A and B are shown apart, each in its own frame.
Chain A
Amino acid sequence: MSITRQLSPVAKLEQKSVVDLISKGKRLDERGLMDYRPLTITLGVVDKANGSAEVHLGKTRVIAGVKVETGTPFSDTPNEGILTVNAEFVPLASPTFEAGPPDENSIELARVVDRGIRESKAIDLSKLCIEPGKKVFMVFVDVYILDHDGNLIDAAGMAALGALVDAKMHKFDVKNGEPVFKDDIMPLPVRNYPIPITSGKINGSIVMDPCLEEEQVMTCRLTVTTDKNDCVCAMQKGGLGVLTPDEIKQIVATAISKSRDLRSKILSKVN
């Protein structure tokens, strides 16, 4: 069951400051409407995981880990490995996060990030088959929010992508339906690089990469995930506000061009 959220913990006057600035084409931190906050990405932060990445987007911090384990394939895709994306909004990341099972926001985030990876066919799941119908590799992508200062979806999507391109596994032979691991390692078969780009609507203006104060004021957001071929592979509109078709087309166009910079930044980290 989904419930209307609590009122924003921000005074009306503060909301007005954000709105007034944006109507003049400015933002709280002097960014342009289409600018992203400073972005850093570090790969391999958790060496026990097959792959990992930490993203700092402004003050937002997200870490993602990839674990590769064995399991039974789904009956309708007996020759394919399995991808699972999970997100944890841990309480230390924000005074608004409570301990407990994932709430609708963390589930939505996990599913949007999942959609980007799955629909862009970023992982060649056919290469993760051990014995058709019996045993395959399962790729677990776990996203952990460490510090919430807005735009968790983009930070999480980029961290997940970073963890996937960082991920390595042992080469293997198959013996009696079980994998026999060799010493050699190989990268996870990643062949596409989806990047989510989120824009928010504030008082009729569109801003990219909304920070926390902007999120508390925006009426709705649109996430557009694009891949290396400039194709849109996932989209998600969130919030109670509405968008016109023209606004949506505009957002998609800017998302495609913006994602190129961010994608090359992540890929440049892989050696």
Chain B
Amino acid sequence: MKEARLLDNNGLRVDGRRLDELRPLKLEVGILDKADGSAYIEHGRNKILAGVYGPREAQPRHIALADRAVLRCRYHMAPFSTDERKSPAPSRRELELSKVIREALEPSVMSEYFPRATIDIFIEVLQADAGTRCAGITAASLALADAGIPMRELVAACAAGKVEGKVVLDLSDIEDKKGDADLPVAFMPKSNAVGLLQMDGSLTEDEFKQALDMAVDACKKIYEMQREALRQKYLVVKDGDDEKEETVAEVKP
């Protein structure tokens, strides 16, 4: 049986993209009413909703920490989000991803401002098309900012990989399934810091460096899109003098 190729004779991918091209990405902030902060991302065919509650009272009380807030993160996929229906019960994969996502976001949150409280992050995948953990992180970071939680900076995430011997950016579903390597990366541009790094497949050292650089560059672009999404949500018209605020809403250590 002849296998369909992932790269054509012009070096273009199945969906027509160049090797270093991102899939279309759309971000929206503050779309949910009940959640303290929320964001929605469409990245390729991924459709992911992130919601944040917090800081709020630690329940149960015994999980609280004396000197900072506890971050809880749940990555979860809707049963209808994948090609084959996924059982609603949390899978081992979802539990692992919940952990690495929390570890990517937590360094950016100034949790020391809220001792004995919790900050809860919920990522719901409504439609999955490879790169859900990265898209989830991008949305969750915006949701945290939308909730007014003090952060050092936003976190952007994107994956790179290898397909038919060539290093490519932002794998699609078929490239993830049939490709040679997958490297999801979460990055904080201001601190030049990688908060999530996973890899599966086979890469030489040079290929790895190439893939990492590619992913980091993409994260910087995605970071600008995050800032633009916040701008869209909170566009401000300059006030006249009579409406200047008396006091400021503070965050005290």
Contacts and interface: CB of A to CB of B under 8 A. Distances in A.
- Binding partners A and B: yes
Interface of A: 45-49, 52, 59, 61, 63, 65-67, 69, 86, 88, 90-95, 99, 101-102, 140, 142, 144, 146-149
Nearest to A87: B88
B17 interface: no
B78 interface: yes
A86 B34 contact: no
B119 to A, nearest CB: 13
A95 B56 contact: yes
B48 to A, nearest CB: 11
A91 B79 contact: no
B6 interface: no
A88 to B, nearest CB: 6
B122 A66 contact: no
Given A46-B47, A101-B89, A148-B34, A90 B122 contact: yes
Q: Of B33, B35, B50, B88, which is in contact with the most chain A CB atoms at under 10 Å from its CB?
A: B33
B78 A48 contact: no
A101 B89 CA distance: 7
Contacts of A49: 80-81, 127
Contact of B81 (A48, A95, A148, A149): A48
A91 B122 contact: yes
B129 to A, nearest CB: 8
Closest 6 CB pairs of A and B: A65-B80, A92-B51, A92-B122, A67-B85, A49-B80, A142-B79
Contacts of A142: 78-80, 85, 88
B32 A147 contact: yes
B121 to A, nearest CB: 9
Nearest to A140: B85
Nearest to B56: A95
Interface in B179-198: none
Interface size class of B (residues with CB under 8 A): 20 to 34
Given A46-B47, A65-B79, 15 more contacts: A45-B126, A48-B127, A69-B85, A90-B122, A90-B124, A91-B120, A92-B49, A92-B53, A92-B124, A93-B32, A93-B34, A99-B74, A142-B78, A142-B85, A144-B126
B242 interface: no
B50 to A, nearest CB: 8
A49 B128 CA distance: 11
A1 B82 CA distance: 33
B21 to A, nearest CB: 22
B125 to A, nearest CB: 10
A114 B84 CA distance: 21
A95 B45 contact: no
Contacts of A102: 88
B38 interface: yes
